[in-house]
Chain A
Amino acid sequence: MNVFANIRVALRALATNKLRSVLTMLGIVIGVAAVVALMAIGNGATASITEQIEGIGSNLVTVFPGSFEHGGQRIQAALTYEDYMALEQHVERVNAIVANVSQGMQLTYAGNTVDVQVTATLPAYQQVRTVEVANGRFFLRSDGASRARVVVLGSQTATDLFAGLNPLGRTIRIGDVFFEVVGVLESKGGGGFGNEDEIALIPLETGYTRLFGRNAFSHGQRKVNDVSMSAATPEDVEWVMVQIERILRQRHGLKLSDDLDFTVFSQNAILETFDEITATLTIFLGAIAGISLLVGGIGIMNIMLVSVTERTREIGLRKAVGARRGTIMFQFLIETVVLSLIGGVTGIALGWGIAYGVSAADLVQADVQANTIAMAFFFAAFVGIFFGIYPASRAARLSPIEALRYE
């Protein structure tokens, strides 16, 4: 008896029990759909987070003051404008470098107020953080030199504050100081991560002399919240970090055995951390979906065992008219595999549909990947074979004479 004849026998057996076949399949359909949809959502979320982190700036390296020892003890130390100057002069393979001083402050215009992070920075901020000006201009070196009270607003800040008016040339109050709006940034989009659109930028020198007051000084030295730079190429990031560490160790008088009192952070490191988190999340989602697939498989096994019992006389008869043990085994195995494969394909279609629906509803841009589909398909086939073997071997082992007498 050839394989195709056996497949036809199995298909006929499934067709004679349509409702039951469909209900059995449902477990696999839901399991596979869950795997495909959840993996797609996980991948989509990963891609969108990655994109947002990359949007912060290209090859970004940032130095923060202080660091965490092992055990969580924080080492306090300031990062100063002089540190920035040293880094600016000595770090090689850097495209642009800025010092930032930030403080949460209240912005007021005609009775509208918003609380945002006000950052005093340098014109190179544009290159370091890859921001574009949508309206007006960014501030210039000359603005800093003259301590000009000019401000560039993030797109969301501008919208909140001016509610549709053209902000350019208008005067707003930051804290108690009046500033002229000279530019509005383009939206970084994506929404939510780091409030990239809810900011206000002023020249660094203006910040020190006119806005932040004593808060920005420590022992008479100008403090900075961070020094950010963009390495020339992704390969230079590591080298830049090494240089920063060497230069600042020297400036802060730290011996090689001392812990650092500053922290050097690269965008890549953030990216890696998030990649780890999202990968864990995706695996977690996949595992939950996998469990539903397992449950579906057990459902198949359950139904097939019932089916074997119910069809005991049929099996006895098939053996009486010449079916071999292997033939019976193969027939029942094919039944489960066909069930799970049809269920698998249906589930892939359904999962794809769910992913499409989630994307259409603008929740997450779900990303259905080929390897997810391949994995779901083979997993379904595996479930079919794994959970089919036991019922099939039960059927095959039945003694024909006992099977025929079964009531």
Chain B
Amino acid sequence: MDNGSVIRIESISKHYQMGDTTVRALDGVNLSVRAGEMLSIMGPSGSGKSTLMAILGCLDKPTDGRYWLDGSYVEDLRDTQLASIRGKKIGFVFQQFNLLARTSALENVMLPLIYAGVRGHDKRTQAEEALALVGLSDRMDHGPSELSGGQQQRVAIARALVNNPAILLADEPTGALDSKTGVELMDLFGKLHRERGLTLCVVTHDPEVAARTPRIVRLQDGRVTGDETE
């Protein structure tokens, strides 16, 4: 495998059985992402980009193909091992933030650390550091309902960063935000990428969001149709 590849997939396919017809959500996708890269996976709805992200994030298993994540081969792993990989190597940011209701920003950020078995004091320190990175040190004790959409998404980013993941996967991260806040969020991603060498993969249908990343992978009908780097 490549040196320095965080992600390497070879001829990944994902088929769903819908009644009598087989839906080929992904059909032989190859992709490799180097450490410290920032890319977008772009395509219209139904192109398979969400399925690809689910497989990259170990949330779903491919029907066929091979996948190396951060140097280790991910195949035939049991659910508990996949859970452990998700907790330690991957950070997720979702369109709908997915913060726990009535739970403070700090505790939301601490969630992955709880499952990773990090002890009390370290847990708090790491969560505070992650919140500082996204500029929310003064909002740690606020619940999601007391935060704006942009702030909630930054809490979600802090939660994704707290375990120092090998890669951060963001699924339409600006989808639920107004355009100004969306731009601010992409600025934050850019800053984290530049200053901390964060490996970042944004899945989007929005060309303006995709334009903010140096590399754009285009997906159509389950196949890669383009891979451009500035």
B residues near A, CB below 8 A? 54, 57, 59-60, 79-80, 83-84, 86-88, 92, 94, 96, 98, 100-103, 111-112, 114-117, 159, 163
B-facing mask of A310-342, CB < 8 A → 1, else 0?
000110111111111111000000000000000
In the bound complex, CA of A323 to CA of B100 (Å): 14
Q: Please tell me which one of the listed residues A313, A318, A401 contacts residue B115 in the complex, with CB atoms under 8 A apart.
A: A318
Nearest opposing residue in chain B for A325, CB measure: B79
Instruction: Say if the beta carbon of A96 comes within 8 Å of chain B.
Output: no
Could you tell me if B114 and A319 are in contact, using CB atoms closer than 8 angstroms? no
The distance in angstroms between the C-alpha atoms of A314 and B159, with both chains bound, is 14
Q: For A320, what are the chain B residues with a Cβ–Cβ distance below 8 Å? A: 57, 59, 86, 92, 98
* B-facing residues in A366-403 (Cβ within 8 Å): 399-401
Q: Mark A74-116, 1 if CB is under 8 A from B, else 0.
A: 0000000000000000000000000000000000000000000
Chain A CB within 10 A, most for which of B96, B112, B114? B114
Q: A401-B54, A401-B60 are in contact. Are A322 and B88 (CB under 8 A)?
A: yes
Nearest Cβ on chain B to A406's Cβ, whole angstroms: 11
Interface size of A as a range? 20 to 34
Interface membership of A404, Cβ < 8 A:
yes
Binding stretch for chain B, among A1-9, A35-43, A44-52, A237-245: A1-9
- Residue among A318, A325, A327, A399 with max Cβ neighbours from chain B (10 Å): A318
Q: How far is the CB of A139 from chain B (nearest CB, A)?
A: 83
Report 16 cross-chain contacts, Cβ distance below 8 Å, ordered by A residue.
Answer: A1-B114, A1-B115, A1-B117, A16-B103, A316-B98, A317-B94, A317-B100, A319-B59, A322-B83, A322-B86, A322-B88, A323-B83, A323-B115, A324-B80, A325-B83, A401-B60
What's the nearest-Cβ distance from chain B to residue A144, in Å?
88
What's the minimum C-beta distance from B93 to chain A, rounded to whole angstroms?
10
State whether B111 touches A325 (Cβ < 8 A): no
Cα–Cα distance between A316 and B83 once the two chains are bound (Å): 11
B residues less than 8 Å from A404 (CB atoms): 59, 94, 98
From the candidates B86, B101, B103, name the one contacting A319 in the complex (CB within 8 A): B86
Picked from A321, A325, A401, the residue with its CB within 8 Å of the CB of B159 is A321
Inter-chain contact B98/A400, CB cutoff 8 Å: no
B115 close to A327 (CB less than 8 A): yes
A399 partner residues in chain B, CB cutoff 8 A: 60
In Å, the complex CA distance between A319 and B102 comes to 19
A404 to chain B, nearest CB (A): 7
A400 / chain B contacts, CB cutoff of 8 Å: 59-60, 86
Whether A12 is near chain B, meaning CB under 8 Å from some CB there, is: yes
* Pair B98/A317 contact, Cβ less than 8 Å: yes
